[in-house]
Amino acid sequence: MYRYDQYDHQIVKERVAQYRDQVRRRLSDELTEEEFLPLRLQNGLYMQRHAYMLRIAVPYGMLSTAQVRMFAHIARTYDRGYGHFTTRQNIQFNWINLEQSPDILAELATVEMHAIQTSGNCIRNTTSDELAGVAADEIIDPRPYAEIIREWSTFHPEFAFLPRKFKIAISGSEQDRAATAVHDIGLHVVKNAEGEVGFRFLVGGGMGRTPIIGSVIREFLPWQHALTYLEAVLRVYNQHGRRDNKYKARIKILVKALGAEEFGRQVEAEWADIKDGPATLTVEELQRIAQYFVPPPYETLAASDVGFEAHKAENKGFANWLLRNVKAHKVSGYAAVILSVKKTGVPPGDITAAQLDFVADLADQYSFGEVRITHEQNLVLADVKLSDLFTVWQAVKAQGLATPNIGLLTDIICCPGGDFCSLANAKSIPIAQAIAEKFDNLDFQHDIGEIELNISGCINACGHHHVGNIGILGVDKDGSEWYQVSIGGAQGNNTSIGKIIGPSFSAQQMPVVIERLLDVYVKQRHEEELFIDTVQRLGIAPFKEYVYASPIPTGYTHGEDACVY
Amino acid sequence: MPVSTNEIIKNRAVVSDDWSVLRLQEGETAESVSIPAGKVIVPFSVWQAQRAQLQDRKPIGVWLSSDAQADVLKEDLAHFDLVAVDFPKFTDGRGYSIAYNLRTRLAYSGELRAIGDVLRDQLFYMQRVGFDAFAVRADKNIHDALKGLTDFTEKYQTSWDEKTPLFRRVNRQAVSQD
């Protein structure tokens, strides 16, 4: 876990003072709301439907237990007792007073946290693999590079007012768990034939209204050049990205317009000026950062544990949880535990102050005092001994964080939607809840197998609906809320963008729509075939045909909304 | 034309300024606009159109719009006593890269002035990429804006003002809080 030195402390402290003064000037009308807007956004403060929302940076999703307890404190003191984990591995609080926001930042600074650049048209929180450092399939731990990028991007003077928001994700494993292909920049830490470490450099991926999969502009960039190459990409984008239309302002539009090859050529030309300059990384710096990510003091343990095996054999609930929520670890005798923040009846990603305190205590006792956030809005205890798993499971279960649904139908990625977000065209949480309620039966979910269901309340795609095996997008039609359904999206190594199956549905129709999609799958699947594979094999036609074959009750009994057909 | 008594921030102090910025009004063209007497910062388009007359004029300044590239001044840079970059809107960040490229790629060492929608909370960033003069928007208190230059005492990354990144400049070690 990275620890601040005096310079990090100083910069964050100075930010708190700067922001406090900005808030003062806003409250005294020295700053207009228009002038204040980008300033507060670069501090993660949004004006939402009911109140301000504060998004706190969790760099690459890593948290100490002191930080988790601080969230609980903020939830209790400044909010309504809960927080919400996001697809950017951040946490946000929905009921914040503007006047108190500087105090929250001051409190965060005491545990080495801030809200810098969690919003705004600047380089956002760099995300990574929630299993970094422990995953069995890891090639190189990406976290030191993520931290190096965090520092470089923090208050970068040239790139604070970009054409649009800018998101970087980094992955160091065989299996991409960081959705790198749908980021403005996606980095794969790789080794070349000589065993040297470098990056495969993807640019121009993204979701939103024009979903595009990133293009590789360099197969191998030696790690020393990471920052100068990032600088070159950002400089080309800053100067040439469109500013006339915010919907065409992301780097993906520029890369698409120029072609990846031409874009790459311009980056190389820009890079030629700064390559090998002082910003080139040094072995000393990499080592300095990497020392914070050395493995914790693992015990030498056998690959299996007698007590653990006995509980597994005797207790079906425990076995189910192991199957879904516990992941392989590269160290013998340990496992990574995913705490499901997706209990039916609770908005996906929402967590209470009591649960936050509980997770902190649990991590202190069983997982070296460290917690991670996944971009699927769950939590991870990365280093739990097999012999502790049963105890941990019982404790977690009592807190409602043990739903054995990781990777299954009810592990829904969902943005806050119209209940909170002022950008949303439609609610998303009630849709997630209605679907979760209908398919609450775990046996059925296990039978369906791995499936990603993602819901966004608007085209900004915070719920990553484009890469959901089933994606749901809230749309506004004549002032009412409708839902467009796509299938065939996927994240990871075979990232694909889902295809829309047809006209949109009302909220009330959505559970039946999902049921029909699953009916087709169950009927057509080959043995062991996942939903996504069936969709890819058959195309969307049979799904479309069946979903629209007969009317689905709309919930409306009269008037022109009585039936959608 | 009367000498302007405007104030600007230059080299981290509020000073009076006798330059005026020429902006084309509706109906005026770069070819036909007449350049007032005194110290004038002309748009690059005017410089291009009237170079023959302007190149003997001293002193003279030029300003670039935010959609320009620093490279357009490559051949002519030596003529200018001042180069300005316009910020049509404080949220338009292209001027930062223009300034950086003027300073680094073109090695421009004269006065580099930010004009247009120039506000306090952007000044720290602007000075980092190479601006040393700031024509703060007229409705804002320039003495208040001056404070924006000192918001931070440290920075992680390189830019025009700081050639060495923090990791090469100092010996960094975590501060124990136990």
Instruction: For residue range A53-96, list pLDDT tens digits in order.
Output: 999 999 999 999 999 999 999 999 999 999 999 998 999 999 99
DSSP state of A43: T
Instruction: For residue range A421-442, list pLDDT tens digits in order.
Output: 888 999 999 999 999 999 999 8
Task: Give the model's confidence band at A555: pLDDT under 50 very low, under 70 low, under 90 confident, else very high.
Answer: low
CB-based contacts of B86: which residues, under 8 Å, 6+ apart?
B63, B64, B65, B66, B95, B115, B116
- Are A116 and A155 in contact by the 8 Å Cβ rule? The answer is yes
Instruction: For residue range B165-176, list pLDDT tens digits in order.
Output: 999 999 998 765
Min Cα–Cα distance to chain B from A239, Å? 5
Min Cα–Cα distance to chain A from B53, Å? 31
Which of A285, A241, A6 minimizes the C-alpha distance to A149?
A: A285
Q: What is the interface size between A and B, counted as CB pairs within 8 Å?
A: 118
Residues of chain A above pLDDT 90, percent: 95
Q: Are strands B133-134 and B111-116 parallel, antiparallel or unpaired?
A: parallel
Distance CA A256, CA A254 (A): 5
CA–CA–CA angle A144, A148, A152 (5° rounding): 170
CB-based contacts of A459: which residues, under 8 Å, 6+ apart?
A208, A209, A425, A473, A475
Distance CA B97, CA A157 (A): 9
With an 8 Å Cβ cutoff, are B121 and A39 in contact?
Answer: yes
DSSP state of A386: G
Local structure of A355: helix, strand or coil:
helix
Min Cα–Cα distance to chain B from A18, Å? 6
Interchain contact A32–B (C-beta under 8 A): no
Interchain contact B57–A (C-beta under 8 A): no
Q: Which residues of B touch A18 (CB under 8 A)?
A: 151-152
CA–CA–CA angle A270, A274, A277 (5° rounding): 170
Instruction: For residue range B92-120, list pLDDT tens digits in order.
Output: 999 999 999 999 999 999 999 999 999 99
Q: How much is the average pLDDT of A196-214?
A: 96
Q: Which residues of B touch A284 (CB under 8 A)?
A: 167
Element (H, E) at A14: helix A6-27
With an 8 Å Cβ cutoff, are A4 and B94 in contact?
Answer: no
Task: Give the model's confidence band at A409: pLDDT under 50 very low, under 70 low, under 90 confident, else very high.
Answer: very high
Q: Alpha carbon A357 to chain centroid distance?
A: 22
With an 8 Å Cβ cutoff, are A278 and B168 in contact?
Answer: yes
Distance CA A216, CA A363 (A): 38
pLDDT value of residue A554:
80
The mean pLDDT of chain A is 95
Residue A387 φ/ψ, nearest 5 degrees: -70, -15
Is the pLDDT at A557 greater than 50, yes or no?
A: no
Q: Which two tokens stand for residue B43?
A: 């748009």
Burial class (CB in 10 A: 0-12, 13-18, 19+), A96: buried
Is the pLDDT at A147 greater than 50, yes or no?
A: yes
Q: Which residues of B touch A238 (CB under 8 A)?
A: 93-94, 96-97
Q: Which residues of B touch A243 (CB under 8 A)?
A: 92, 94
pLDDT value of residue B173:
80
Q: What are the start-end ranges of the H helices in A224-282?
A: 226-240, 251-258, 260-274
- Domains of chain A as residue ranges with CATH: 6-110 (3.90.480.20), 134-290 (3.30.413.10), 306-399 (3.90.480.20), 413-548 (3.30.413.10)
Residue B5 φ/ψ, nearest 5 degrees: -110, 25
Task: Give the model's confidence band at B3: pLDDT under 50 very low, under 70 low, under 90 confident, else very high.
Answer: very low
Interchain contact B168–A (C-beta under 8 A): yes
Q: Could you say which of B91, B104, B152 has the minimum Cβ distance to residue A11?
A: B152
With an 8 Å Cβ cutoff, are B156 and A11 in contact?
Answer: yes
Distance CA A448, CA A148 (A): 41
